[in-house]
Amino acid sequence: MNTTNITLTKQQIKAQGIKMDIAKLCSDDFYIKYGKYYAEKPFKHTVVSNKQSVLTCNCLIGSSTTLNHSNLDIAQRSSVLFVEQATDYQHIMHTNQNKEGVFIETSVSKDFFYALFEGEDNYLESLFNPTNARIHLPIDYNLVKSLNSLTTHPYQGKLAEHFTEAKIIEIHLQQYNNWLLWQNKSTPHLLEKDKQAIHYVRQYIEQYYEQDFTIKQLALMVGINQTKLKAGFKLLFDTSIFKYLHDLRMNIAAELIKENTLSVYQIAEKVGYKHSHHFSNAFKKHFGILPSQFK
């Protein structure tokens, strides 16, 4: 990695009840973004990416819900590693009980990532698999220390460049180790026909998301047992069947609200809720605000 010509930019975002400070270190091969925010309530934050990269977003304090891309929600003390595309990402930022949030992003080029993990085909395939290009991982104590050191080290000039390069490599190796530990847990053995069946279940959910169904019904539909369906879905898509359905319903509802052509009652019906107040409660729990407050 060539870390010469590192530049530092700072940005402050202020709105009613919101204050966010962002610092960004950039070179030709990477960037590090450190964000600290205070907010009275969850708020929308849009990030526009201008190039493809391998991005890790770490929520140290608070959490994040992504509106316009699937399976990118991040809980507190968790991270998601994925291939960021040149497009916009719309997030709802949540705080902790003290109304604070802290996140750190590290982004590297695909060439760097491939060079670092050359020969680790399973890891590369799990990240660059087009059907599920996300890896969700917890943030352990050692990773927290490494992440925080990116913005608190005492070095200047060339020493800062060398330190930053070493830490970015260290962070990626720690993430890889956490992924290995997760992979080594007991996981179901899936035949190719099992994978095809589980992919069909996901397509079915995406087509008929407004319907209610049980795991038993889905398992019978594709001809595998319920345990294999649940465990296999989690293995392939890093989420449970019903969380995938719930997140899909909420994201579709958010898009319909933004279109501003249907009432909350009509939107609730379209995404499978018989009662609008149940939908409103679910929407607020997911995004932190009521549908009537969402813009």
Among 157, 183, 209, give the residue marking a domain's end. 183
**Does residue 2 lie within any of the structural domains?**
no
Judge if 36 and 126 occupy the same domain: yes
Judge if 55 and 197 occupy the same domain: no
Judge if 175 and 203 occupy the same domain: no
Global pTM exceeds 0.85: no
**Does residue 172 lie within any of the structural domains?**
yes
Judge if 152 and 272 occupy the same domain: no
**Does residue 1 lie within any of the structural domains?**
no
Judge if 231 and 143 occupy the same domain: no
* Contact assessment for residue 251 and residue 70, using Cβ atoms and an 8 Å cutoff: yes
Structural domains of the chain, count = 2
Give me the CATH number covering residue 256. 1.10.10.60
* Per-position pLDDT tens, the chain of length 295: 544 578 889 999 999 999 999 999 888 888 899 999 999 999 999 999 988 899 999 999 999 999 888 889 998 999 999 999 999 999 999 999 999 999 999 999 999 999 999 999 889 988 887 766 788 888 888 888 999 898 888 888 888 888 998 999 999 999 999 888 877 665 567 888 898 999 999 999 999 999 999 999 999 999 999 989 998 898 888 889 999 999 999 999 998 998 889 999 999 999 999 999 999 999 998 888 899 888 6
**Does residue 264 lie within any of the structural domains?**
yes
**Does residue 95 lie within any of the structural domains?**
yes
User: What's the maximum distance between 2 C-alpha atoms anywhere in the chain?
Assistant: 63
- Label residue 276 exposed, middle or buried (CB < 10 Å: 0-12, 13-18, 19+): middle
Judge if 44 and 159 occupy the same domain: yes
Give me the CATH number covering residue 176. 2.60.120.280
Please count the other Cβ atoms lying within 10 Å of the Cβ belonging to residue 13.
13
Among 128, 150, 183, give the residue marking a domain's end. 183
Among 130, 153, 183, give the residue marking a domain's end. 183
Judge if 210 and 136 occupy the same domain: no
The domain of 158 spans 7-183
Token digits of residue 151: 């913005």
**Does residue 89 lie within any of the structural domains?**
yes
* Contact assessment for residue 209 and residue 272, using Cβ atoms and an 8 Å cutoff: yes
Judge if 28 and 159 occupy the same domain: yes
**Does residue 285 lie within any of the structural domains?**
yes
* Alpha carbon distance 39, 95 (integer Å): 7
Looking at residue 3, what is its pLDDT? Answer: 46
Token digits of residue 43: 């708020």
Judge if 237 and 266 occupy the same domain: yes
Judge if 226 and 269 occupy the same domain: yes
Judge if 166 and 253 occupy the same domain: no
Judge if 233 and 100 occupy the same domain: no
What DSSP assignment string belongs to 151-175? HH----HHHHHHHHHHHHHHHHHHH
